[in-house]
Structure 1
């Protein structure tokens, strides 16, 4: 008689689409709606909510790391981020909403801290594009760490369709935080590596033979 460990959840890490697409779509839509509500509040309320973004290398602006992805410099800025945020966040939930939350937290914090450290001194950085670049980078490399052919195929398609976004990684575009894009992308790769390692550590142990006496 042998004692077997529970089957590992290896398939979850290699999925291409969310296991619960309706729930994933609801999460993606809800987050996007939140961005629109924040921008509407910025328009209606007195003051300037955008000042709550990231003020680089200023201790008083460090809390902007938490708020910057929710803020946008006008409706056109938000419109430009809407489709990438919706699509990439939905696809990034392939391993489950819990894994997506971890990936998003890594991207959110690392990209924000990167902007705070090396961003422009005179200015405030806002916008969800750092998240979008992070999710895209995560989607592009997760298949390598997970050794999942389906995810690699999705990455090839995404790279072909969204290759124009890569220009946002280069400096020289006025008003564009290339630092946020670069650190967002690096954070996405880091998140893919960390979550890939987590998946590998959960492989099942070999069966243990049991002894029957009597």
Structure 2
């Protein structure tokens, strides 16, 4: 199944992103309310135990500020994903978490890497490059909007600030690009009109038949060959007593 379809709004466009954001808030509330610390379930690179963080790390945040800053872009970008790329949205999310998380596990520093920011970088990268590859004005406009809103995030994919998992951000960017290339054949296309089809024939177009060779409008079309109407014969029969 590809994503060559008309963009349609559905409840999932908002419901799934809201559910995901509420889930990460619930996890943080659970930690604070019951005194847990789930940071040890994050990605710890090059350790077998740290592999569990590939799945768990996007749901774990170290502070309320960390959670807040991730919530808005996560909602906006995932909603855009489900609206414009609905048939492949779950593949991008699920496989994206695994691939970007594993890449972080491979290249990361020996520390716990937590947060949904890697997934956010994945969505930014995927939506941007997918729109560029599509060469379709709606998706290109979406790419430009993503750059306008989140383009400055690219600096956090470099080792410029302490305490920031630039490895997770970089892994998300790389994974998003790889996914945009992988799903390149599944690019949304605008609906083609009849006259844009390859087998279109002007002579068969009922609308164009109303115009003569000089472009004048013909209100009534006279058929080239009139079909003979079958004659109706009436036979009078005398009524018998």
Tell me what 1:44 maps to.
Answer: 33
Which is helix-richer, 1 or 2? Answer: 1
Do 2:3 and 2:87's aligned partners in 1 also have CA atoms closer than 8 Å?
Answer: no
How far 1:169 moved relative to its partner? 1.1
CA distance in 1, matches of 2:48, 2:147: 37
Q: 1:79 to 1:198 in 2, by over 3 A?
A: same
Do 1:50 and 1:126's aligned partners in 2 also have CA atoms closer than 8 Å?
Answer: yes
Q: Which has the higher contact order (CA 8 A, sep 6+)?
A: 1
Matches within 5 A, 1:1-214: 11-12=4-5, 19-121=8-110, 123-198=111-186
How far 1:96 moved relative to its partner? 4.8
Q: 1:112 to 1:100 in 2, by over 3 A?
A: same
CA distance in 2, matches of 1:148, 1:186: 23
Do 1:56 and 1:120's aligned partners in 2 also have CA atoms closer than 8 Å?
Answer: yes
CA distance in 1, matches of 2:36, 2:71: 24
Tell me what 2:227 maps to.
Answer: none
CA distance in 1, matches of 2:43, 2:2: 39
CA distance in 1, matches of 2:140, 2:123: 15
Structure 1 segments, 4+ long, off by >6 Å, are none
How far 1:98 moved relative to its partner? 4.0
Tell me what 1:210 maps to.
Answer: none
- Max Rg structure: 2
CA distance in 2, matches of 1:10, 1:40: 37
Do 1:19 and 1:96's aligned partners in 2 also have CA atoms closer than 8 Å?
Answer: no
How far 1:192 moved relative to its partner? 1.5
How far 1:152 moved relative to its partner? 1.0
Q: 1:197 to 1:48 in 2, by over 3 A?
A: same
Do 2:61 and 2:115's aligned partners in 1 also have CA atoms closer than 8 Å?
Answer: yes
| SS at structure 2 position matched to 1:63 | helix
Compute the TM-score of the two structures, normalised by the length of structure 1.
0.81
- Unmatched tracts of structure 1, length 5 or more: 1-7, 201-205, 208-214
